[in-house]
Amino acid sequence: MADAAFTQGAETADRGRLWVVLYLATTGLVLLLMMLAGLWMRLAQSGWLDTDPALFYQLMTVHGTGMVGIAALGGAAVLWHFLSAHIRLHAWVMGANFWLFLIGVVAILAADFPGRFGGAWTFLYPLPASSQGVWPVWAAALHLGGLLVIGVGFLIWCLELARGIIATYGGLGRGLGWHVLFGGSTKDVPPPTVVAATMVAIVTILALIAGATVLVMSLINLAFPSVELNPLLAKNLIYFFGHTFINATIYMGVIAVYELLPRITGRPWKTTKVFLAGWTLSTTMVLIIFPHHLLMDFAMPVWAMAIGQVFSYVNSFPVLVVTGLGALAILHRSGIRWDLVSTLLLISVFGWMAGVIPAVVDATVAVNSVMHNTLWVPGHFHFYLLLGLLPMIFAFMIHLVRVEDVTPRGGDLAAILYLLFGLTFVTMFLVGGWASVPRRWAEHLPEWQIWDQIAVITAAGVITLTTVFVAMFLARTPAMLAKG
Ligand code: HEM
Ligand SMILES: [Cu+2]
């Protein structure tokens, strides 16, 4: 009996690993395609490639939606892989989420290209329904329906995380280590991976419920235009969903840092009370700071804005500090060898910490009244997604397929080049924002185009290095799977 259960567990783990590989392969390929769409937009803005503005907005919608989805898929691979070592999870959930994801992607591509939907990944009400004839109603409905299908997939996936954590640790509070933090217990201390996964499960479930609610409401409005929504409520739901969902992808990805740095240096990442307090604080705050996206909406109550501004300052710091200091403590005098994986991990911690600074700047009302809807905004989120989240995912990809020590010499050079190209690329967005260049404009004035052109060149560098990382992963995957 025990033997049979054991084999079954191993089989599930094996199947889980296959899904992790499939998630990563999909992430790599879609990521490259979406980057090319981004390059196209930058080419259009720089005046180097004549592009129909309607097509620009279709590309922007596919790029934004696709990148957010793929950030979640890649983050989910990292989280699942490491959490499975601590908790028994059902592998079929990975499969269900994967197929729903693909169905949603096909629907969105059909809606955005033949259907010409260009209402951005934020699908802000009432834009999907009022295209002024640019796209038909069916395209808007198909796009929103595709999002809903993807959301349902991730909801099932997060519920499985929550189930597993509750079954193994006895509750989500215990997954966050509250019995240690408040009760002083020293038993069943959750490892960092479990703490992060618990936060991800909690905040993503709430985000997806809000997202699904507003999607269903918008779909009803598309079908029956006389049923109108409260635009302010719709906007709050959308930004609660969008802000929380994209933030959670980094909280998934950072698990690669918690798990891999200790393996590389031979020093454990301990769950301290400070670590637990940091994660509990960020769990609550990430949920209440989304009003920083509505600072210019005069109809919002002042107290909500105050929360948005004040807690945006405080929110990021607990987890950032415990991660940054934790990483430094592990690295200090560890004699670490700087290969591709370790360099990518270090870059990711830097990219995340540094990228939060322009974000927090923009969450200040006085600054936001100038920077709102300028390129400062894509500047800050490309910073921590391109240089924070992606290096975490690349590091995990390379780690998985590493057969002993196969990192080629100069591997860290590729990582450093990625950092340099990426930094220059995001700086061009930030410079544009500084000069008040509006975001989401298909055409730019000649005075702005020098920054767009530098961005084109550096984006090409980022794409080349991403191709190298993804190709490395794909090329070595068959050997890794055969080795078992
Ligand atoms: C080579 C890499 C990339 C390039 C060239 C690129 C380019 C662009 C451009 C030109 C825009 C529109 C900016 C504007 O408002 O004028 C944009 C928007 C956006 N990008 Fe990227 N990007 C890249 C990577 C990424 C990554 C890695 C992510 C996330 C993981 C991402 C997520 C987004 C999102 C969410 C938007 C907002 C779309 C909207 O405003 O609705 N991008 N990107
Ligand atoms: Cu936000």
Residue 364: predicted pLDDT: 84
- Rounded Cα distance between 261 and 415, Å, is 16
Single-letter code of the amino acid located at 192: P
Ligand 1 pocket, residue 120 CB under 6 Å: yes
> How far is residue 306's CA from residue 251's CA, in Å, rounded to a whole number?
25
Q: What is the pLDDT of residue 369?
A: 86
Pick the CATH number of 15-483 from 1.20.210.10, 2.40.110.10, 1.20.1250.20, 3.90.25.10: 1.20.210.10
Under the banding of pLDDT at 50, 70 and 90, the label for residue 1 is very low
Give the residue with greater pLDDT, 183 vs 363: 183
Does the CB atom of residue 30 touch ligand 1 within 6 A?
Answer: no
User: Hey, how many other C-beta atoms are within 10 angstroms of the C-beta on 380?
Assistant: 24
**Average pLDDT value for residue range 335-342:** 87
In this predicted structure, what is the pLDDT of residue 4? Answer: 44
What pLDDT score was predicted for residue 373?
A: 92
CA distance 460 to 454: 10
Q: Which two tokens stand for residue 248?
A: 């959670």
Mean pLDDT of 35-54: 98
Q: The whole model's pTM is what?
A: 0.96
What pLDDT was estimated at residue 9?
Answer: 54
Task: Assign 320 a pLDDT band (cuts: 50, 70, 90).
Answer: confident
Identify the band that residue 3 occupies on the pLDDT scale cut at 50, 70 and 90.
Answer: very low
CA 446 to ligand 2 center in whole angstroms: 31
71-85, 444-458, 469-483: segment of lowest average pLDDT = 469-483
pLDDT at 55 > cutoff 80? yes
406 pLDDT above the threshold of 60: no
* Euclidean distance between CA atoms 174 and 208, whole angstroms: 23
Q: What is the per-residue pLDDT for 411?
A: 67
Q: 405 versus 69: which is more confidently predicted?
A: 69
439 lines ligand 1 (CB under 6 A): yes
Amino acid at 260: L
- Check residue 99 and give its pLDDT: 98
Q: In this predicted structure, what is the pLDDT of residue 2?
A: 39
What tokens appear for 3 in the block?
Answer: 């033997």
278 lines ligand 1 (CB under 6 A): no
Cβ atoms < 10 Å from Cβ of 183: 12
User: How confident is the model over 462-482, as a mean pLDDT?
Assistant: 94
Identify which has the larger pLDDT, 28 or 290: 28
Domain map of the chain by residue range? 15-483
43 in ligand 1 pocket by Cβ < 6 Å? no
Residue nearest to atom 29 of ligand 1 (CA): 67
pLDDT digits (tens, 9 = 90+) for 142-160: 999 999 999 999 999 999 9
For residue 344, report the distance from its CA to the centre of ligand 1, in Å: 21
Nearest to 26 by CA among 197, 148, 202, 153: 153
Mean pLDDT to the nearest integer, 160-182: 97
Q: What is the pLDDT of residues 221-243, one digit of tens each?
A: 999 999 999 999 999 999 999 99
pLDDT value, residue 5? 42
Rg (CA), the chain: 22
199/205 Cα distance (integer angstroms):
10
Residue 13: per-residue pLDDT: 65
**How many angstroms is it from 336 CA to the middle of ligand 1?**
34
Kindly report the three-state secondary structure assignment for every residue of the chain.
CHHHHHHHHHHHHHHHHHHHHHHHHHHHHHHHHHHHHHHHHHHHHHCCCCCCHHHHHHHHHHHHHHHHHHHHHHHHHHHHHHHCCCCCCCHHHHHHHHHHHHHHHHHHHHHHCCCCCCCCCCCCCCHHHCCCCCCCHHHHHHHHHHHHHHHHHHHHHHHHHHHHHHHHHCCHHHHCCHHHHCCCCCCCCCCHHHHHHHHHHHHHHHHHHHHHHHHHHHHHHHHCCCCCCCHHHHHHHHHHHHHHHHHHHHHHHCHHHHHHHHHHHCCCCCCCHHHHHHHHHHHHHHHHCHHHHCCCCCCCCHHHHHHHHHHHHHHHHHHHHHHHHHHHHHHCCCCCCCCHHHHHHHHHHHHHHHHHHHHHHHCCHHHHHHHCCECHHHHHHHHHHHHHHHHHHHHHHHHHCCCCCCCCCCHHHHHHHHHHHHHHHHHHHHHHHHCCCECCCCCCCHHHHHHHHHHHHHHHHHHHHHHHHHHHHHHHHHHHHHHC
Distance between CA atoms of 237 and 215, rounded to whole angstroms? 10
Nearest CA to ligand 1 atom 21: 38
Residue 124 Cβ inside 6 Å of ligand 1? The answer reads: no
pLDDT at 187 over 50: yes
State the distance from the centre of ligand 1 to the C-alpha of 15, rounded, in angstroms: 33
**Which has the minimum average pLDDT: 280-284, 425-429, 450-454?**
280-284
Cβ of 382 below 6 Å from ligand 1: yes
For residues 269-292, give the mean pLDDT.
92
State the distance from the centre of ligand 2 to the C-alpha of 291, rounded, in angstroms.
8
Using pLDDT thresholds of 50, 70 and 90, give the confidence band for residue 363.
confident
